[in-house]
Amino acid sequence: MEADDADRYRAPALDKGLDILELLAGVEEGLTQAEISKRLDRSPNQFYRMLDRLVRRGYVTKLEGDRFTLTLKLFGLSQLHAPTRRLASLATPLMRDLAQRSKQANHLAVFDRGSAVVIAQHEAPGYWGLSIRVGSHISLFDTGSGHVLLAFRSDEERRMMVAEHARSREDIDLGSEFYDRLADIRERGHEMMASAQTAGVYNLSAPILGPDGRGIAALTCPYIALVNAPSAPDISQTIAMVMKTANALSLLAGSDVKMHE
């Protein structure tokens, strides 16, 4: 495209918003309005309304000290695009094998706009199993998937994920015990918890790690004790299978970090 044509189709307001997003993406601690204007070599007044709109639309949040930083909304949107479909595609045969060996259903979830969202699932091979529909939004705070997605992110990313939840739903008061639990999950490499939604079910969850070692998804098996299948793996054997499958998926995602099995 010639320079004249490029100028003809300019959208100054859009350019201004994209400039802000690209600048904040490279600054972990956030910037004030004055610092943004200085780095972009423009008047602070030019950015007031644009920053206000970005905050109201959830792409940017305002921290203490009047500093602006990115939320995880762009990350959440990206999860719905090709990388997520690619991950679900890569996971399908491994999830099928996990279901066959464990005799249990399993599903894969990612973070999106304040929730854990199921992007793939495989049903149990027998008559009994608990399946979660693809597209279901589940809680970050009382599910195995949610705990794992929070545990394997940085402290700053975790704060933004919690804030994203509060913007889209009710505010939630998380005590120190909750964060201690996340630290324990990160240390042992998995979550094992009684379901807060269904009696008799245990959430067995492990992280899918990306190339940078951060959690990009959670693989979860809603474990049900099968009294009519004495040869079925017990809960300890099943969590080992879940972690082995999660490690295999992490390798496919480009990670060289291996969780304990």
Q: Which residues of the chain register pLDDT less than 50?
A: 1-3
pLDDT tens column, 71-90: 877 766 665 555 677 788 88
| SS3 state of residue 138 | strand
Phi, psi of 221 (to 5 degrees): -115, 115
Q: What is the DSSP letter of 132?
A: -
Nearest to residue 207, comparing CAs of 124, 132, 149?
149
pLDDT reported for residue 65: 75
Q: At what angle do helices 235-252 and 82-102 cross, to 10 degrees?
A: 150
pLDDT reported for residue 1: 44
pTM above 0.85, yes or no: no
Cα–Cα distance measured from residue 190 to residue 44, given in angstroms and rounded to the nearest whole number: 47
pLDDT reported for residue 101: 95
Helices and strands counted in the chain (H then E): 10, 9
CA distances from 46 to 10, 13, 58, 110 (A): 17, 10, 20, 36
Ordered by where they begin, the domains of the chain are: 3-70 (1.10.10.10), 76-252 (3.30.450.40)
